[in-house]
Amino acid sequence: MTLPRDHVTRIREEWARERPDLDTSPVGVIGRLHRLAGHLTERLETVYRRFGLSEGEFDVLAALRRAGAPFERAPGELASFTMVTTGAATKRVDRLEKNGLVTRRVSEADGRGRVVALTPAGRDLIDRAFAEHMRNERALLDALDPADARALELLLAGWLAEFEEPDPA
């Protein structure tokens, strides 16, 4: 398969001319992944905005919804599941609480801890937003042949494992 001529091809050609002593082949993969991530993020954020959410707020609501009934998690869990600092998670929860989508309460298991929970409005919103998010991701992935999408998933999972510890079972 011949690579299409794109922005990354032009960059590699320019570097090959200016620095023929360097192997610029990593730009072919990393550069395209970086550009693709930008395009994908833009398309994903379109859906989040349609529901009045930022990407981070969507992540918090989704983490709470995935927890199952009663749809709550400790703040530290939310930070872990959304891969942000506890401070960033707190800011997101503050905004969601202000909008009536989550509540905070003292943990029944540990009186010193707090629990963040979805409100009925928050559950309704994330259920609708997540359904639209999945339709959007399906449309984006439909640009690939199903076998190529599966092969890409396997490649990316293997590469990601070089940077992250596997989740415990």
Average pLDDT, rounded, for the chain: 91
Whether the CB-CB separation of 40 and 33 falls below 8 Å is answered with: no
* Phi and psi at residue 117, to the nearest 5°: -130, 150
Identity of the amino acid at 112? R
Range in 10-19, 84-93, 117-126 with the lowest mean pLDDT: 84-93
Gap between the Cα atoms of 32 and 47, Å rounded: 23
Q: How many residues does the chain have?
A: 169
Q: Which residues contact 125 (CB under 8 A, 6 or more apart)?
A: 51, 53, 61, 101
Q: How confident is the model at residue 166 (pLDDT cuts 50, 70, 90)?
A: confident
Instruction: Please tell me the CATH code under which domain 54-160 is placed.
Output: 1.10.10.10
Gap between the Cα atoms of 102 and 21, Å rounded: 56
Domain boundaries, the chain: 1-50, 54-160
pTM (2 decimals)? 0.86
- The answer to whether the Cα torsion of 66, 70, 71, 77 is positive or negative is negative
Q: What is the pLDDT of residue 3?
A: 79
Q: How confident is the model at residue 77 (pLDDT cuts 50, 70, 90)?
A: confident
**Bridging pattern class, strands 72-73 and 114-118:** antiparallel
Whether the CB-CB separation of 21 and 31 falls below 8 Å is answered with: no
Q: How confident is the model at residue 84 (pLDDT cuts 50, 70, 90)?
A: confident
Q: What is the pLDDT of residue 169?
A: 67
- Residue-wise pLDDT for 8-18, tens only, equals 999 999 999 99
